[in-house]
Amino acid sequence: MTHLPDGRYVDDAPYDPQASLLELERKDLDAPNWLLVWRKFRTHRLGLISGIFLLLSYLMLPFAGFIAPYGPNTRHADNLYSPPQSVNFFHEGQFIGPFVYPMESEANLETFQWEFVADTDNPAKLTFFCDGDSYMLAGLIKADTHLFCAPDGVTIFLWGSDRLGRDVFSRIFYGAQLSLTVGLIGISVSFVLGIFFGSVAGYFGGRIDWVINRVIEVLRSLPELPLWLALSAAVPSNWSPVAVFFIISIILGILDWPGLARSVRAKFLSLREEEYVKAAEMMGASSGRVIRKHLLPNFMSHLIASATLSIPAMILGETALSFLGLGLRAPAVSWGVMLNDAQNLTSVEIYPWIAIPMIPIIVVVLAFNFLGDGLRDSLDPYQQ
């Protein structure tokens, strides 16, 4: 530090304006695009939390059978409409680890309902990594170890049981397997179709463009649900639940692509006049190569963001179809199938816990919306 005669202080370290400027910029310029996007996305708190939540949810899917204490269709004939049981730690002021109070059912002869009373004298301690109903781990490995279960003769219904005495908590985890993947399969179908038709229409233009555009207009102007209904009514009822599941997700995808195709087409229309496209064409690149290597990477990230935003519609679509009885059918378990039981207002009033599946639906849909918003905002890292 030098003290100049006119009272200013000057740093003695050698200073090269050009170098320091370059050094600062270089780091950012050299960073790959995804790093810049990630840096910006990290500041979007809500999007980040939603992303982590969704990631965990999807990672959990193969282990649903492990986390759930019961199988999806295991019936407990003595515990129909049993209310949720809470896990306690203190029994009469003493810490004895996680336990539940056994439920005892009594028939109320006036209302003709089963009434459940917790037996607060005999706490039943939970066991961990115990054997129970067998399930397929990730659909491949047969296993029967569960994360937690109640001792013999005692039930554990964290979120109550439904009309057939099936555990709502377990069914929500099993239901997630179908409800969450419907969106992914549907969006893949819609992605492939949308990019294909959108890019063909935008790149070639002319008559192909006209035809594809009219198809898009027709599909977009129609109400989705009646079409979904009509198409899923066409699925033969003797098909296996898995086949129905795939068909339903493909139907959801087939009716979703026009929106995506429109935005792809609009981008192509403006990008195909760019010089690098001309250059590629002059060097003899085929149309397919120009589309794949030169045009699509330009806005792939935007497409991913808009895809994220249209997954919720598919999840809601599956739920609505199953709710109406035209989508997945029992014994398949999805959130919509579970809510099918909640159609009846009186049963929701008496047994409110059968409407619990609406909570994961709302949470997942919100998470996808936030994630999509966050991605969209952070995709252009150079823009401040």
Partner 1 sequence: MEILRYSVYRFGTMLMTLLVVSVMIFVIINLPPGDYLSNQITELRASGQSAGVAKAEFLRTEYALDKPLYQQYLIWMGFFPGPHGFSGMIQGNFGWSFEFDLPVSEIVGDTLWLTVLVNMAAIIFVYAVALPLGVAAAARSRTWVDYSSAFVGYLGLATPNFLLALILFYYGHKYLNLPIGGLMDPMYEGLPMSWDKAKSIGVHLIVPTFVIGTSGASAMMQRLRANMLDELGKPYVETATAKGMPPARMLAKYPLRVAFNPFVADIGNLLPSMVSGSVLVSVVLGLQTIGPALLQALKSQDQFLAGFILMFVALLTLIGTMISDVLLVMLDPRIRYEGRDA
Residues that bind partner 1 (CB under 8 A): 213-214, 217-218, 220-227, 229-231, 233-234, 236, 265-266, 269, 312, 316, 319-320, 323-326, 339, 342-343, 345, 348-349, 355, 358, 361-362, 365-366, 369-370
Sheet with 124-125, strands from edge to edge, namely: 88-91, 94-100, 124-125
Nearest CA to 53 out of 303, 365, 318 is that of 365
Measured in degrees and rounded to the nearest 5, phi and psi for residue 87 equal -90, 125
Q: Which is nearer to partner 1, 212 or 277 (CB)?
A: 212
Give the C-alpha separation, 26 to 30, whole Å. Answer: 6
Give the C-alpha separation, 369 to 160, whole Å. Answer: 30
Q: Which is nearer to partner 1, 155 or 232 (CB)?
A: 232
Which single residue is written with the structure tokens 């129905």? Answer: 244
Give the C-alpha separation, 172 to 70, whole Å. Answer: 11
Cβ 36 to partner 1, closest distance in Å?
24
Q: Which is nearer to partner 1, 312 or 374 (CB)?
A: 312
Q: Which is nearer to partner 1, 123 or 336 (CB)?
A: 336
Q: Which is nearer to partner 1, 165 or 360 (CB)?
A: 360
Give the C-alpha separation, 355 to 81, whole Å. Answer: 12
Give the C-alpha separation, 298 to 292, whole Å. Answer: 10
Q: If phi over 0 gives left and psi between -120 and 50 gives alpha, with beta otherwise, what is residue 167?
A: beta
Q: Which is nearer to partner 1, 161 or 319 (CB)?
A: 319
Cβ 230 to partner 1, closest distance in Å?
5
Q: How far is CA 142 from CA 66, 79, 135, 188, in A?
A: 11, 27, 6, 29
Cβ 234 to partner 1, closest distance in Å?
4
Cβ 342 to partner 1, closest distance in Å?
7
